[in-house]
Amino acid sequence: MAKLFFRYGAMNSGKSTAILQVAHNYEERGMNVMLVKPKVDSKGDDKVIARIGIDRQVDILAEESLNMREAVLNWKDKVNCVLVDEAQFLTQRQVDELFELTVKDNIPVICYGLRTDFQTKLFPASERLFALAHSLEELKTICRCGKKAMMNARKVNDKFVFEGDQVAIDGSQEVTYESLCGSCYYKEQTSSIE
């Protein structure tokens, strides 16, 4: 039976590098993968870009209205595995459709994404992935202090911010992110109030 996987981690934990490696592994064995990313993720336009300098064009830029299951089943080639980058930006309905793809159509789906936003709140799609995924795997990265980073702190014009819209794409409008441990996150939050 195929499974729905959710591989999550803080920013800079190697999610995009991992998805490109998995795509390569499938294709090296003569299998077809479908690489998907939500259209709202404008970073890299229609590509998955890894910080180590590799990239790949996606097969589908998923609009919110896209039915994921239908898109895969109606694809021009047989799909052996669906790979989703930035899965936190999907809709909850799309996560349900990916789950159906695994259990009804026996096609594995591997989603990579963030668990929480810069305010430590679950993304709606991540919440649904935690509820439905057959397998959960945390990809780890480290904070500037050396501890495990699990928070995604947002900076605007190089200053930490803790209020705003849930979605602000890295690299757009002077927005950047830094992966922090809980201690460093709360230190920055406290110092931004003072």
E strand map for 39-158: 47-49, 55-57, 60-62, 81-84, 109-113, 135-138, 141-142, 148-149, 151-156
* Interaxial angle between packed helices 124-132 and 92-105, expressed in degrees from 0 to 180 and rounded to the nearest 10: 30
Please identify which of the residues 27, 63, 70, 86 carries the catalytic annotation: 86
Instruction: Report CA 2 to chain centroid distance, whole Å.
Output: 20
Q: DSSP string spanning 144-172?
A: TTSSEE-EEEEEETTEEE--S-S---TTS
86 among known catalytic residues: yes
Beta strand 148-149 pairing with 4-8? unpaired
DSSP summary character for residue 16 = H
Return the active site residues: 86
